[in-house]
Amino acid sequence: MSRAPDSVTKPDDTHVFFPLAPHFMPPARKRARASADAPSAASIELVGGLAEKPSTIAKFRDGRLTDVEVLAADGTAFHAHALCITSGSEYFERLLAGERWADTAGRPLSLPDVPKQGLAACLEFIYTGSCTVADAAELMVVLEAAAYLQIPHLVDAAAKAMSAHLGATTALAYWAVADRQGLSKLAADAMSAAARHFEQIAATPAWLSTPAETVRALLASDRLEVAGEEAVYTAAVKWLHAQAPPPAEDDALALLRLVRFPLLRREFVQETVHNEPLLLTVAGLQMLNRSFFGALHGDSARRRMGFEKLYRVGSRAYDALATLYLYRYDSMANAWEALASTSSTRSAPAAAAIDGKLYVMGGSGPDGYLSSVERYDPAKNAWEAVAPMSTARSSHAAAAIDGKLYVMGGAHDSQHRLSSVELYDASTNAWEAVAPMSTARVCPAAAAIDGKLYVMGGYNGQNQLSSVERYDPATDEWAAITSMALGAATKFKCAVFM
């Protein structure tokens, strides 16, 4: 359904059609009586409009004193009051208020682009300030009818309801409606839902008829929630084979370039990719060679990260014998869940994430300060030990830049505070020293912005610090920047997005 045009014309007929679809023949008129039927258990209520007086609503329901007859797409007739519908709909106001329509009194107004369910909901909303929609599928009908009739409050209410009902079965359809109506927030929400449920969606017949621009947007997204890149490749090839006529070779390869081939399992590449007809052309083989050649020479393919979740790791008691508990918060579900605890006991460690895995480093344990490091894999809900830091440290800070972990500062024991900084490379499972900070800091805060590392505040043994230092990995140098207004040192807090 398209938006209503800004101007109207009067056809030479006994009905007023606006607009008239090509070759549309009005069906026999069926009278619809407005009613307030009890909603079903699955129904959705849309609110946010302004209600007319109860007596006016009663007249609308009974069809009394009405002066406008409106025909839906199937010919069903609705009777309403011009004063009410022109107040609630900009479309009706423009249509009925113009002088050239003054001589159309008594003629039905036909809306061949507005289905019966949509028109009924719009009129109910205009009169009562709310309406009930049968199910998630009918929400689309109501939103497009409200957009056509220019009822902004109903458009907003329907869009919010659609966002709340996004899932594997509705994401693509809602996304298409949002794009047609220019609803950017709903479109973004629908894309997120499609990315979250990508594997389910790609397994349905609806995927095969998804518009090319939507397919490209999804395949290019870092936020696809997939078990592996094999699912992305399979979805792309499946979609390409379903198109009739087949896409041109350049277009097909442009789509396949969105697959991150270096992330595919070797066995999958050998058994599936190398046997795919779309890739057995000269251009297809060249594309594959470039993808894998780049990976061999350090051009790493970004892993699909899915949707960030907040992880909180910490103990329930501030002592060296405390177990570290891990919790994850899902903003979409608005819920926390408990995950696997670490295998060791430690207090005041630091935590950071790279490549979708969480690292907990150092801290103090029953036998003193720790250099040990544990890594959590969300896919396995399990911890494993990785290479230890070269220096035991506690009450330090950590951050990640370009897939590398940095730990800085902290205390080596009860007497020695540290300015040293270490870098961890997961590909080699090794730590190396980088340039130290100019100031030793215990309990500082750290963050990474635009490829640079910032370390703020902390305690130097005498005072809480307000100074801030910035590290540039490209030059391996620290530089002082503007200090904070107040000195600050953080207690043990580990919260990480990944």
Q: What is the largest CA-CA distance in the chain?
A: 96
Tens of pLDDT, residue by residue over 345-395, are 888 899 999 888 999 999 988 888 999 999 999 878 999 999 999 999 999
Question: Is the pLDDT assigned to residue 89 strictly greater than 60?
Answer: yes
Assess whether pLDDT exceeds 50 at residue 2.
Answer: no
Say if residue 487's pLDDT is above 80.
Answer: no
In this predicted structure, the answer to whether residue 16 has a pLDDT above a threshold of 90 is no
190-196: long-range contacts at Cβ-Cβ below 8 A with a sequence spacing of 24 or more?
A: 190/162, 190/163, 190/166, 191/217, 191/218, 191/221, 192/166, 192/223, 192/307, 193/166, 193/167, 193/168, 194/218, 195/221, 195/223, 195/224, 195/225, 195/306, 195/307, 196/223, 196/225, 196/306, 196/307, 196/332
Q: Choose the weakest-confidence range: 16-25, 163-172, 279-288.
A: 16-25
Dist CA 482 CA 467 (whole Å): 7
pTM for this entry: 0.65
Higher pLDDT, 269 or 18: 269
Beta strands in 344-467 (DSSP E): 350-354, 357-361, 364-365, 368-369, 373-377, 382-386, 397-401, 404-408, 421-425, 430-434, 445-449, 452-456
Let me know if residue 217 belongs to a domain: yes
Same domain, 269 and 218: yes
Beta-carbon-side half-sphere exposure of residue 470 (alpha carbons within 13 Å)? 12
Structure confidence by residue, pLDDT tens digits, 98-108: 655 555 556 88
CATH number of the domain to which 149 belongs: 3.30.710.10
**pLDDT score, position 344:** 82
Beta bridge mates, 246: none
Q: What is the pLDDT of residues 161-187, one digit of tens each?
A: 999 999 999 999 999 999 999 999 999
* Domain finish residue from 165, 186, 213: 165
Mean pLDDT over all residues of the chain? 86
Average pLDDT over residues 450-468: 91
Domain count for the chain, please give it.
Answer: 3
State whether 452 and 403 are in the same domain.
yes
SS (H, E, C) 309-321: CEEEEEECCCCCC
8 occurs within a structural domain? no
User: Quick check: helix, strand or coil at residue 411?
Assistant: strand
Same domain flag for 51 and 88: yes
Same structural domain, 31 and 155: yes
Residue 22 lies in domain: 16-165
Indicate whether 15 pLDDT > 70: no
Choosing from 118, 145, 165, the residue where a domain stops is 165
Average pLDDT, integer, range 427-455: 93
